[in-house]
Amino acid sequence: MLVQAILVGLVGAFGCLDYQLGTLYAFRPIVLCPLVGLVLGDLQTGLAVGASLELLFMGSISIGAYVPPNETVGGVLACAFAIQLGQGTETAIALAMPIAVLSLTIGNITDAGFSIIVDIADKCAAKGNLKGIYAAHWSMGLFGCLEYFLLCGGAFYLGSDAIQGLLDFIPTFVIDGCGVAANILPAMGFAMLGRLVLTKQLVPFYFLGFLLCSYANVPVLGVALIAIIIGIDKFDLLGLGGAQPQLSAEGDEDDDF
């Protein structure tokens, strides 16, 4: 159990280390849950939970002022508990969001403390002390990794019994209901993305994408490739000449409607 907790903690720490590897988005459930599955000996459940949670957190990206719940800790722990307790994706979904919100709160507290290190780095820079800036960078980042390790490993080690008790207490239709909610919630993630990218000018293309998938059964990747061709053609990006599209009038319609 202790070994498993350490492994789960390491998966969480790897999720944080991803920010040093170039923000590969390896901290997302679709990558970490299969890893959790691997270390706990149930890769298949890990893959299934990863797919479901990735959709649940689809709209959870830090764009603009919205700081999303911590999908890394939420995803790792929810998946680990689901596998440990022999449960399926419904349970993982029910657990993921509350854990993610709680870890966001903890993260915000440590972030406030980091401001001191940022100021120290600033002073080092003014003296031309490059090593000091490196030290600030690594200490902040590695502290984050340690935090993720402790949150994931610690909660997994201490929390299994509590979560088991909670699950025994909750009636099955509630867990089933969370499964239903997980089937609906991707639409909310898509709507959050839509709020970022959709303009009046682009609404017809939303329906084009939907209808291609709905009536012609084109898979999502196929729709994306068709969309690229439409974009290239519409704006003559290959520079082959032809009628110049009317851009000027539509340029200002980026506002909401």
Site for other proteins in 51-90 (CB under 8 A): 51, 54-55, 58-59, 61, 63, 66, 69
Tell me 255's DSSP state: S
Residue 158 or 180: the one with the smaller Cβ distance to other proteins is: 180
State the nearest-atom distance from the C-beta of 162 to other proteins, in Å.
20
Distance CA 37, CA 45 (A): 6
Residues 230, 222 contacting (CB under 8 angstroms): no
Beta carbons of 184 and 108 less than 8 angstroms apart: no
Nearest-approach distance from CB 201 to other proteins, in angstroms? 7
| Closest to 208 measured CA to CA, from 226, 184, 186 | 226
Cα separation of 90 and 167, whole Å? 11
Residue 181 in contact with other proteins, rule: CB under 8 A: yes
Tokens coding 9: 């903690």
For residues 88 and 8, what is the distance between their CA atoms, to the nearest angstrom? 18
Q: Which is nearer to other proteins, 101 or 146 (CB)?
A: 101
Q: Is 192 in the site for other proteins (CB under 8 A)?
A: yes
* Residue 181 burial (10 A CB sphere; 0-12, 13-18, 19+): middle
We find the least distance from the C-beta atom of residue 157 to other proteins, in angstroms, to be: 25
Smallest separation (angstroms) from other proteins to the CB of 144: 7
* Contacting range for other proteins; rule: CB under 8 A; set: 6-14, 70-78, 131-139, 159-167: 131-139
**Among positions 5, 19, 85, 165, the unique one binding other proteins when judged by CB under 8 A:** 19
Give whichever of 157 and 175 is closer to other proteins, judged by the CB atom.
175
Asked if 47 and 28 count as a contact pair (C-beta separation under 8 A), the reply is: no
Report the residue number, 110 or 158, with the smaller CB distance to other proteins: 110
The reply on whether position 99 binds other proteins by CB under 8 A is: no
Is residue 246 involved in binding other proteins (CB under 8 A)? no
115 binds other proteins, rule: CB under 8 A: yes
**Does 196 contact other proteins by CB under 8 A?**
yes
Sequence-distant (≥ 6) Cβ neighbours of residue 16 within 8 angstroms: 27, 72, 141, 144, 145, 147, 148
Pick the piece of the chain touching other proteins (CB under 8 A) from 2-10, 80-88, 153-161, 171-179. Answer: 171-179
Q: Does 201 bind other proteins (CB under 8 A)?
A: yes
